[in-house]
Amino acid sequence: MRCSVFIAASLDGFIARSDGGIDWLPADQESGEDYGFLSFFASVDAMVIGRKTYEVARSFAQWPYGERSVSVLSSSYPDPGVALSRTVTGTSASPEKLVRFLSSHGVRRVYVDGGKTIQSFLRAGLIHDMTIARVPVLLGEGIPLFGGTGKDIGLRHVETTSYPNGLVQSRYDVLSSR
Task: Please tell me the predicted confidence (pLDDT) of residue 32.
Answer: 73
Taking 70 as the threshold, does the pLDDT of residue 88 lie above it?
yes
Task: Write the pLDDT tens digit of every residue in 67-81.
Answer: 999 999 998 887 777
Residues 6 or more apart whose CB falls under 8 angstroms from that of 118 comprise: 5, 7, 112, 127, 145, 146
Architecture of domain 2-19+31-176: 3-Layer(aba) Sandwich (3.40)
- Please, which pLDDT band fits residue 178 given cuts at 50, 70 and 90? very low
Count of positions (residues) in the chain: 178
- DSSP-assigned beta bridge partners for residue 130: 5, 172
* Dihedral (Cα; 53, 58, 64, 70), 10-degree rounding: 60
